[in-house]
């Protein structure tokens, strides 16, 4: 295996891990606050289509990414209103949000099928990424660097900030948090909005970076992988990063092995590898009592403030 | 809930009897009103691939026949029980002819066709028919022979990457036609296949193309429906081909040409037959000669000799003097599978499950 191939594989792993990581980070914060939002896939599609439309109309992909975040956050606000204010069932509402996102993104994007947008490509000058080693460091879209910063920020926020402590308290015991005067609903609204914005950014990554185009169901189910990843990481940002990269690596190596013509395994086996890896790790961690109880205690339960 | 009183039931019965009486001479002309034609798609019309191309055919039909036809469509119909429900509903809604455009709709269509003998059914890419159900298909592989010729002449590494969906005969046929044509101009040419196990997953298709480039391919072709692989080729400065429709927009430099599925003329001929009362069961497999498979305009960057060679394949295919599946053809092991001068019959093509020499899968 030569140097160029190793570099190409590393770049491909980073490329496929990034959107899953970003969407999962958002969902992690949402779940830490005690809310289960299964609408990630729908919000990603809304982010993808809005990001694309804004990028095409303004010609500035960075604005597209921001637009995608704003639109998906707006969609998550509908979810928040239904589940937090009206205490609707979170699982059902989340699923409805995915169906809604699939439909509304198809409708909004109908007249944008078949056109292209400038790619939201490498942020550093091309001269920095001609050398293969430098390409590993400097060859990516700004969203990739943002994903690292976001992982660190979420970790620091949850672990070391006062606001993060409040958010975790709300997720672990909303009644106690409420009784000592923390605004449970406000905290959860903010968390859901953050989750929406992250899903939107992840979606925009597909329509602006990976395949700069719009087509219906562009994200092809990656939102569900992001949700699974949160459980996989037992609600810890560091493990989330590892998990996303493990997943990215398995996806990449599967395709590389096929492209290299390895006939040791059936193609169907290679395709199922990412999912087998997920099941294996889930089985391993769920066997341990500590991680089994890692889920926020109030996850998915509606909260009604009692006087 | 609809409540019926006895008078309505009696009226309904009378109407039903009248309909049956009128319906007896099967497939009468439709003259005094527009023909109602419905289309059932497996994917979204916004996929810019297979379902998109069928919908372009529907639009062509509406444009050609104007107010003599009234079209409708249902997209994203899952293959299986859901398809049967949709097709039955369309038949009940008074459609004269229903086009079910995916292989997996075959059995549901047949079932509904038996229940609605006065409605005409048309099923794409299957093999079952009934007195009121036709089958139609397209010889996509003829276009793939053109792509293979271009790839064989333009590739420097002599290695092509093939982003493939599922190992079904139609896809295998395409891989073989592409490789056979490329090896006619470069006997050492090889095609590396990557199965993505999906008809439509833009990110995965692009990543598969990327892996193929990493492994030394310098030309990509695909039997999946998104422009993802083309965009990857554009980034790498390599060449690639569009699938089902002209995808030049997505990769102005990399896009050499594309197979364009022109279903429109067939749809016009069938609806016209309904209007004239001449519709009959048929089972057709049309290709370049009939205009059902077309090539998108060649990229201006293609060298003249390549353009000429590609055009020659098109012209000879149309004239009926060139057939890519003509022996001698060797299989993957190098053994002769088809004897010199023998043309593989259609029936064998439709169940092709072996690869020609030069395919690596």
Taking only the tens place, the pLDDT of each residue in B297-311 is: 999 999 999 999 999
Mutation test of the interface with chain A: which of B41, B42, B46, B258, choosing the one with the most A Cβ atoms within 10 A?
Answer: B46
C-alpha B197/C-alpha A184 separation (Å) is: 45
What is the average pLDDT across B170-177?
95
Mutation test of the interface with chain A: which of B48, B193, B207, choosing the one with the most A Cβ atoms within 10 A?
Answer: B207
Q: Is the pLDDT of residue B344 over 60?
A: yes
Determine contact, residues B169/B163, Cβ cutoff 8 Å: no
Mean per-residue pLDDT over chain A, rounded: 90
Q: For residue B165, which of B211, B221, B247 has the smallest C-alpha distance?
A: B221
Whose structure tokens read 């010729």? Answer: B149
Q: Is the pLDDT of residue B129 over 50?
A: yes
Q: Is the pLDDT of residue A204 over 90?
A: yes
Give me the residue from A110, A211, A212 closest to B46, CB to CB: A110
Give me the residue from B194, B202, B235 closest to A218, CB to CB: B202
Three-state SS annotation for chain B: CCCCCHHHHHHHHHHHHHHHHHHCCCCCCCCCCCEEEEEECCCCHHHCCHHHHHHHHHHHHHHHHHHHEEEEEECCCCCCHHHHHHHHHHHHCCCCEEEECCHHHHHHHHHHHHHCCCCEEEEECCCCCECCEEEEEECHHHHHHHHHHHHHHHCCCCEEEEEECCCCHHHHHHHHHHHHHHHHHCCCCEEEEEECCCCCCHHHHHHHHHHHHHCCCCEEEEECCCCHHHHHHHHHCCEEEECCCCCHHHCCCCEEEEEEECCHHHHHHHHHHHHHCCCCCCEEEECCCCCCEEECCCCCCCCHHHHHHHHHHHHHHHHCCCCCCECCEEECCCCEEECCCCECCHHHHCCCCCCECCEEC
- pLDDT at residue B31 in the model: 76
Q: Is the pLDDT of residue A220 over 70?
A: yes
Give me the residue from B46, B211, B235 closest to A256, CB to CB: B211
Mutation test of the interface with chain A: which of B159, B168, B194, B228, choosing the one with the most A Cβ atoms within 10 A?
Answer: B194
Structure tokens at B57: 């055919």
Helix axes A237-259, A267-286, angle to 10 degrees: 160
C-alpha A18/C-alpha A8 separation (Å) is: 16
What is the average pLDDT across B341-358?
94
The minimum CA-CA distance between A31 and chain B, rounded to whole Å, is: 27
B62-100, pLDDT tens digit by residue?
Answer: 999 999 999 999 998 988 788 999 999 999 999 999 999
A253-275, pLDDT tens digit by residue?
Answer: 888 988 888 766 676 777 677 67
- pLDDT at residue B25 in the model: 41
Which of A28-42, A66-80, A119-133, B233-247 has the weakest average pLDDT? A119-133
- pLDDT at residue B106 in the model: 94
pLDDT bracket for residue B1 (50, 70, 90): very low
Which of A28-37, A205-214, B16-25 has the weakest average pLDDT? B16-25
What is the average pLDDT across A76-80?
97
Q: Is the pLDDT of residue B291 over 60?
A: yes
Q: Are B203 and A268 inside 8 Å of each other by CB?
A: no
- Cβ contacts (< 8 Å) between A220 and chain B: which residues? 198, 200-204
pLDDT bracket for residue B264 (50, 70, 90): very high
- pLDDT at residue A30 in the model: 97
Q: Is the pLDDT of residue A129 over 80?
A: no
Q: Are B207 and A268 inside 8 Å of each other by CB?
A: no
pTM, two decimals, is 0.86
Burial of A224 (0-12, 13-18, 19+ CB in 10 A): middle
The minimum CA-CA distance between B166 and chain A, rounded to whole Å, is: 10
- pLDDT at residue B348 in the model: 93
What is the average pLDDT across A97-123?
91
Which of A114-123, A235-244, B70-79 has the weakest average pLDDT? A114-123
What is the average pLDDT across A99-126?
89
Q: Is the pLDDT of residue A101 over 90?
A: yes
């Amino acid at each position: 295996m030569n140097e160029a191939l190793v570099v190409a594989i590393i770049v491909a792993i980073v490329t496929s891990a990034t959107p899953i990581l970003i969407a999962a980070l958002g969902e992690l914060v949402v779940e830490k606050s005690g809310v289960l939002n299964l609408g990630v896939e729908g919000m990603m599609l809304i982010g993808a289509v809005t990001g694309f439309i804004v990028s095409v109309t303004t010609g500035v992909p960075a604005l597209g990414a921001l637009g995608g975040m704003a639109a998906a956050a707006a969609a998550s606000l509908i979810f928040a209103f239904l589940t937090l204010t009206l205490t609707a069932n979170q699982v059902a509402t989340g699923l409805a949000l995915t169906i809604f996102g699939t439909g509304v993104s198809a409708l909004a994007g109908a007249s944008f099928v078949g056109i292209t947008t400038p790619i939201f490509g490498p942020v550093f000058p091309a001269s920095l990424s001609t050398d293969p080693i430098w390409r590993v460091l400097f060859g990516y879209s700004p969203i990739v660097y943002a994903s690292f910063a976001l992982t660190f920020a979420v970790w620091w926020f949850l672990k070391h900030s006062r606001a993060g402590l409040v958010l975790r308290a709300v997720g672990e015991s909303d009644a106690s948090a409420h009784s000592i005067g923390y605004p449970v609903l406000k905290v959860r609204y903010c968390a859901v909005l953050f989750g929406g914005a992250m899903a939107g950014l992840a979606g925009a990554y597909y329509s602006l970076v990976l395949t700069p185009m719009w087509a219906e169901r562009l994200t092809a189910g990656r939102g569900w992988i992001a949700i699974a990843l949160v459980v996989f990481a037992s609600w810890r940002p560091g493990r989330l990063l590892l998990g996303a990269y493990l997943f990215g690596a398995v996806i990449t190596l599967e395709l590389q092995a096929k492209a290299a013509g390895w006939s040791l395994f059936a193609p169907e086996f290679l395709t199922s590898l990412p999912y087998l890896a997920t099941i294996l790790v889930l089985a391993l961690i769920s066997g341990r009592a500590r991680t089994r109880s890692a889920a926020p205690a109030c996850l998915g339960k509606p909260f009604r403030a009692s006087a | 809930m609809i409540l019926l009183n006895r008078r309505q039931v009696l009226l309904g019965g009378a109407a039903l009897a009248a309909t049956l009486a009128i319906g007896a001479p099967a497939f009468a002309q439709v003259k005094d009103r527009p023909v109602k034609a419905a289309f059932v798609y497996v994917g979204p019309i916004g996929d810019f691939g297979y379902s998109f191309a069928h919908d372009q055919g529907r639009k062509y039909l509406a444009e050609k026949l104007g107010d003599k036809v009234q079209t409708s469509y249902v997209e994203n119909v899952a293959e299986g029980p859901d398809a049967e429900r949709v097709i039955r509903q369309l038949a009940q809604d008074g459609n004269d002819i229903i086009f079910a455009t995916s292989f997996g709709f075959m059995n549901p269509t047949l079932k509904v066709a038996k229940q609605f003998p006065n409605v005409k059914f048309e099923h794409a890419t299957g093999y079952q028919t009934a007195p009121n159900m036709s089958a139609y298909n397209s010889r996509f592989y003829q276009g793939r022979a053109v792509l293979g010729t271009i790839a064989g002449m333009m590739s420097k590494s002599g290695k092509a990457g093939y982003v493939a969906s599922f190992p079904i005969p139609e896809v295998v046929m395409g891989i073989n036609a592409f490789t056979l044509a490329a090896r006619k101009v470069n006997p050492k040419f090889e095609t590396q296949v990557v199965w993505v196990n999906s008809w439509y997953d833009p990110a995965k298709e692009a990543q598969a193309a990327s892996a193929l480039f990493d492994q030394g391919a310098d030309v990509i072709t695909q039997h999946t429906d998104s422009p993802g692989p083309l965009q990857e080729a554009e980034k790498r400065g390599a060449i690639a081909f569009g699938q089902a429709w002209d995808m030049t927009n997505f990769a102005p430099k990399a896009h050499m040409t594309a197979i364009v599925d022109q279903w429109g003329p067939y749809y016009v001929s069938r609806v016209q037959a309904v209007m004239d009362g001449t519709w009959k069961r048929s089972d057709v497999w049309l290709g370049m000669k009939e205009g059902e498979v077309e090539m998108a305009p060649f990229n201006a960057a293609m060298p003249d000799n390549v353009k000429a060679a590609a055009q020659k394949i098109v012209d000879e295919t149309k004239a009926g003097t060139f057939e890519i599946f003509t022996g001698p053809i060797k299989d993957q092991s190098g053994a002769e599978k088809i004897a010199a001068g023998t043309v593989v019959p259609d029936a064998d093509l439709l169940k092709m499950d072996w690869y020609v020499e030069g395919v690596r899968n």
